[in-house]
């Protein structure tokens, strides 16, 4: 698996405070949830109870219950690797998007992308025939209507969508491993993100057609990405986009 480790950063007129704060909040919530779950959910004695209470459960959302979880779920993660991967993507891509949108708009954009991700996730489950859901539940013991969805990846997918729209000619450094040897390459950001999106789409369609959950909310990723692509034209300053790309072309 290839992971991005850096990109062509533009010059930031201001520090990416919102992006860094989001990263800090995600990390803090995860470790507080592990060490002191009762601080997040009164009476909770384990992180699993926190996830059950604050994660997005599609059945509850459809019934109009616990709508606050649409936002709380964005700051929960299923493990160290889940947290690390999401924060790595947010750190690499988010600062550029914040620089172009500005702090307030970036925060609104981030949260809106997360909401769009939840909508697509719930719609993907609605799209599954009941008979298929029942058969898959019987086979795996997992009912998609009742499984809490957590993670910042839906909102971060929106950040990827915005980055793709604004910086299609940027380049990324990515790392992959041959046995234990790290190999570092430079690739066009557009190619990397397109490949990422196609993978999400293939996996998402396989979930819909088979009813078998893969442990990853692929449609949340797809929905967040498409939401980000749709919102970027309203949230980003065209002048800043032009300036950022001109700066990149001059110095890289």
Per-residue confidence band for 98, with pLDDT thresholds at 50, 70 and 90: very high
Longest Cα separation, the chain: 59
Q: Answer whether residue 15 shows pLDDT above 50.
A: yes
Considering just the CA atoms, what is the radius of gyration of the chain in Å?
Answer: 19
Segment 185-198, tens digit of pLDDT: 999 999 999 999 99
Note the pLDDT of residue 250. 47
Segment 34-80, tens digit of pLDDT: 999 999 999 999 999 999 999 999 999 999 999 999 999 999 999 99
Note the pLDDT of residue 236. 80
Per-residue confidence band for 252, with pLDDT thresholds at 50, 70 and 90: very low
Q: Is the pTM of this model over 0.85?
A: yes
Note the pLDDT of residue 8. 78
Note the pLDDT of residue 251. 42
Per-residue confidence band for 148, with pLDDT thresholds at 50, 70 and 90: very high
Note the pLDDT of residue 211. 66
pLDDT top residue among 245 and 129: 129
The whole-number average pLDDT for the span 1-12 is: 78
Q: Answer whether residue 31 shows pLDDT above 90.
A: yes
Per-residue confidence band for 168, with pLDDT thresholds at 50, 70 and 90: confident
Per-residue confidence band for 152, with pLDDT thresholds at 50, 70 and 90: very high
pLDDT top residue among 154 and 1: 154
| Domain locations along the chain | 3-251
Domain 3-251, second-level architecture = Up-down Bundle (1.20)
């Amino acid at each position: 698996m290839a992971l991005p480790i850096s990109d062509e950063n533009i010059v930031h007129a201001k520090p990416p405070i919102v992006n860094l704060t989001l990263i800090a909040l995600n990390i803090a919530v995860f470790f507080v949830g592990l060490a002191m779950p009762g601080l997040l959910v009164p009476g909770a004695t384990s992180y699993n109870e926190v996830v059950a209470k604050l994660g997005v459960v599609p059945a509850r959302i459809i019934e109009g219950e616990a709508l606050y979880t649409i936002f709380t779920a964005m700051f929960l993660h299923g493990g160290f690797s889940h947290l690390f991967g999401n924060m790595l993507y947010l750190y690499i891509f988010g600062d550029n998007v914040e620089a172009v949108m500005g702090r307030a708009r970036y925060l609104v954009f981030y949260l809106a992308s997360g909401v769009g991700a939840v909508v697509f996730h719930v719609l993907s489950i609605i799209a599954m025939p009941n008979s298929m859901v029942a058969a898959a539940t019987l086979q795996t013991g997992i009912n998609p209507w009742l499984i809490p969805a957590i993670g910042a990846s839906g909102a971060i997918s929106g950040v990827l969508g915005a980055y793709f729209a604004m910086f299609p000619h940027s380049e990324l450094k990515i790392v992959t491993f041959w046995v234990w040897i790290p190999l570092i390459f430079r690739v066009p950001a557009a190619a990397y993100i397109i490949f990422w999106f196609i993978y999400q789409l293939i996996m998402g369609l396989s979930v819909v057609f088979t009813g078998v959950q893969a442990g990853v909310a692929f449609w949340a990723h797809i929905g967040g990405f498409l939401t980000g692509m749709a919102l970027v034209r309203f949230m980003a300053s065209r002048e800043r986009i032009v300036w950022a790309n001109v700066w990149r072309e001059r110095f890289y």
